[in-house]
Structure 1
Amino acid sequence: MSVSRATGADPDTLVVSGWSAASPYGLGAAAFAAGVREDRDAVRPGDRDLGPYERAGLLPDFDIRRVLGRKGTRAMDRATAIAVATVGMLLEEAGPGLAADRPEAVGMVLGTGHGSVQSIMDFTRDSLTGEKPYHVDPAAFPNTVMNRAAGQSAIWHTLRGPNTTLAGGAPTGLLTLSYAARLLRRGHCEAVLCGAVEEFSAERAWLEYRARTGSAHRQPAGPLGEGCALFLLEPYGRALAHGRTAHASLLSCRFTAFHDPEDAPRAVTRAVTEALKDASVEPGEVALLVPSDTGGPLGAREDAALGAVFGESGPPRLRLRRLIGDTSAASASLQLAAAVCVPDGRRRPVLITSVDPDGQTGAVVLRTGNP
């Protein structure tokens, strides 16, 4: 293992050297960080169709053409626009040299729930209600494909490295971080933008509501949110060479599954203990917990598992869902963003956990600050 003479750190350590977010607090990392640090509620009544809900965590005043311009946005769906805008903000923070010199060296791993639910349902409805099944808008078809946001973001910003779309429920954001780490460690690229996006639509709201209603094991129906959080993951040595600061080091990722909802605490406990072991971090060293905060029986089981590992008087827990709503596939990425922006610059481990009612759990350990 080589060690940097300037820092004493391993230059191959994977670090988050940049991040940005589009959230109900507004566009950009600064807006998100301010909202989280102030513990500000961003869920409010909307001026659009919210489906079965009265309140939602919506991006304030997000107009696609105003944010991205008129060119190339006529048929762009909301999820794609949010992702493209967030990538642009992250690249601006990282500096113009990130993708300009060797665009093939920069990959992208973007998570999503289903892609744009509204686009899928609108296109399907048009094919059923039109005079002919093929009397549909061909320009709208790309929005029905799950990897639309990732592909369009790469095209828009000239990222020519590996491009991957993942869908894994609530832990999707943690999965993208793990996938990005494997791409880097196996030499498929030199840097990766990773994270997840979710749009709000009345169509998604109704699907979420119907999926939860009548199920004793799913989290209760509640306000939904939307947003995107993206991270620049790269080796520490590369970040230093390009003048970027490490916000956090990736120590470990662990994922488990459960079939019976009653087994969720066991799955969460296993993911957490194995992640801590892989990171060589003792439970008493963890300074902050960022759980998925799903509420209902599932949320109680996640809390019980964390209580079993850390004790009821363990590290403080940052609960994001109550502030911005349920952002579904984007929730874990926004949890990661909260974990990165809340600490005060000291080097300390933080743990992010996620659990999905379909049986997926995940745990990621980061160490904030420089390696």
Structure 2
Amino acid sequence: MTKRPVTMSDVARDLGLSRSAVSFAFNDENQVSAETRDRVRERAAELGYRPNAGARALAGQRTDLFGLVTDIVSTPFGGDLIAGAQDWFWRHGKSLIIAGAAHIERPDARSIEMMLEHRVGGIIVATTWNRPIDLPASLDGVPVVLVHCFDPLGRYSTVLPDEENGGYSATSMLLEARRRRVAFINLPSDLVAAEGREAGYRRAMADAGIPLDPTLMVRSGPEAEDGYRVAIELLRDGDVDGLFCANDRIAMGAYEAARELGLRIPEDISIVGFDNQEIIAGSLRPGLSSVALPFREMGERGAELLMNAADGEPPSHVSVACPPIARNSVSILT
């Protein structure tokens, strides 16, 4: 009879520690002392446990089980991402297990170890917003795909939204409606999405032959109240006839500011958002035209790339189009 591999849970039981403490010890987390780390590693070696046993096991066997670690489960986009990945795996005779993570900047070691102990064939790591992330050492040698996030060193396959062309599409919706004084309320400069969406705005304005006016390019926090505070100042002089907001929550604040100033949407001021959060864009009156983050397609492409990675293919990087969604917040200027 084949002896069962020693797991992290076995090490924890033997030492009388929680599984989380053992996981922290192997991943050099500061939640445990150096003394505990040394004790855990010494006893694990005696028991025959190896932190990367899951990765080594994968090298010699095929599996129909894959994993998804994400902070997106409880967000408006979570259902689309999970459905996209899950449907792709089901169509190809595979199964998906999902673990939530509260702080995905450095994915929770417990979620990762749980996946490895289930001997998954690879792991998708997905985030709510586009950002760089730091993966734990326990994933060395494991097929990994990053969705809506990236490794600054480029070691893993990635699936990212095409932020720049999304910004271009949003701005073009306003320009095609004959709006010429098109302002842009961007996100904070430290966000990856802000850079791409601004590049799209700049390119659309240049293609339309409209010189950039720095007074029409401003930044805001990501929430509706931030958008309101910025928009009320931007729209006060009545010189703006089109407004591209870098997310739908900012646009919701801009709606409030426009109404407070007596501006009609879309006649006096046409507004376009980004993200296409249905609970916002579909509920505002008039409905907010927006640009969608394609989470379902990103989930599908992530699953496909993970299968490729499990087959030994080198990392690849996919950009997924962000489609414009027209509602009723834009009208042709007459």
TM-score normalised by structure 1 residue count: 0.27
TM-score normalised by structure 2 residue count: 0.29
Q: Which has the higher contact order (CA 8 A, sep 6+)?
A: 1
Higher-Rg member (1/2): 2
